[in-house]
Chains A and B, each alone.
Chain A
Amino acid sequence: MEWIALANPSRFLALAERLLPWLAAATALAFAAGLYAAFFVAPEDYQQGATVRIIFIHVPGAWLGMLGWAIMSVAALGTLVWRHPLADVALKTAAPIGAAFTFVCLVTGALWGRPMWGTYWVWDARLTSVLVLFLMYLGLIALWRAIEDPARAARAAAVLTLVGAVNLPIIKFSVDWWSTLHQPASVFRVGGSTIHPAILAPLLVMALAFTLLFATLYVSAMRNEILRRRVRTLRLLQVHAAQGA
């Protein structure tokens, strides 16, 4: 990727300014297409009726939640291994956005489950794994909220992200095993292959729309974080200047 070329923040800011309008336009377009397809093109599912339409935001939410952690892991490597100056900025800004999408996945999952299983929350293997992922996101955000100096928090957050990334498959496996241990496989199974093509197409378009939204928010959040760190540096300079007074 072009990470290395964006080494210094000002060039990234310039690129971000140019890129954002296009990204925003593409996101809007993708959502228009996706929502149209989701509500007008996709047939109702023979089993769940119209609630299948919730899939179109539930599944992309889960994908984006996991994509977010993947991006953070790359950024964590950037901080620890390649010492890339923007890596910590990339890591810190991806967390709230990833957490938001994971939250969307959980909420839509609960709302979708209500008609299916009669309660908002069922300790189904997939939902539980996403919940653990959400808790890991909150843990990282709590870490940044606890340490004022970004440089000090950077290394700790990077290590925590990588440890989390390594643990995600283990958590996924253990939760699956845990849920099958206690409960028959959940009533409704949305496997990749069993999705009816008529539903798959809108799902993919919505997934694209969500990904573009993630990208737009991510680039602008990174731009904000760079400005926030610049403000912090200037304020330290201001205090130092007052020292001389």
Chain B
Amino acid sequence: MRLSGSELECVRGGKRVFANIGFAVGAGEALLLLGPNGAGKSSLLRMVAGLLRPAAGSLELAGANCDRSLAEQAHYLGHLDPLKSSLSVGENLRFWTRFLGGGRGEGPDEALRVVGLERVGDLPAGYLSAGQRRRLSIARLVAVERPIWLLDEPASVLDADGQALLGEVMRRHLAADGLILAATHAPLGLDPARELRLGAVLP
């Protein structure tokens, strides 16, 4: 499996955020998107996830089963944690597992155990702290198996334990021939990761 993008250009609100950006990520590899705020890291991730239409350029996914679109084979972890406060922690995760699910993956209960939320499974998600909400989003990545992970500053609200957990989960995903594209400021502990710098001064 190989995800590549060529001459990608992003225009938002009439302003060009970045132009002719190219990258390629193979199975088992991680690509870190670096650069100042507003450099378009999040926009590039949303573009790969199919949530943002590129002004120019194209994205290819080679080697995966081609009956599923790129977006259907990708997990997107944005700044927001898509949880409904009045649903319980378990209900939220079970919903996303069934909605995004393809059958493979750890499943909701095991995923909750992995992220350390198994004891609060039946409490309303509204009671969770920011760190716990992020862990529940990470549980979504574990519960449903999708090869491509698009992570937008995943470690931003996590404490030390949380970041260790995230690192462990990401390493396990790469070991299983998964592929990670992550925008980050803090080091994610993925030593063999390549980097793509955005936000160079545009002409």
Contact = CB atoms under 8 A, between A and B. Distances in A.
Q: Do A and B bind each other?
A: yes
Contacts of A148: 85-86, 124, 126
A142 interface: no
Describe A's contact surface by its main secondary structure: helix
A15 to B, nearest CB: 31
Interface string B9-52: 00000000000000000000000000000000000000000000
Most chain A beta carbons < 10 A, residue from B117, B127, B132: B127
A7 interface: no
Contact of A239 (B85, B86, B120): B120
Interface in B100-142: 116-117, 119-120, 123-124, 126-129, 131-132
A47 interface: no
Contacts of B123: 235, 238-239
A135 B127 CA distance: 32
Interface residues of A, number: 9
A242 B86 contact: no
Nearest to B89: A239
B132 A243 contact: yes
Contacts of A242: 116-117, 119-120, 132
Contacts of B126: 148
A236 interface: yes
Contacts of A235: 123-124, 127
A148 B128 CA distance: 14
Given A148-B124, A240-B129, A242-B132, 10 more contacts: A148-B85, A148-B86, A235-B124, A238-B119, A239-B123, A242-B117, A242-B120, A243-B129, A245-B116, A245-B119
Instruction: Name the 8 nearest CB pairs between A and B, nearest first.
Output: A239-B127, A242-B120, A242-B119, A239-B120, A235-B123, A245-B116, A236-B127, A239-B123
14 contacts: A148-B86, A148-B124, A148-B126, A235-B124, A235-B127, A238-B120, A239-B123, A239-B129, A239-B132, A240-B129, A242-B116, A242-B120, A242-B132, A245-B116
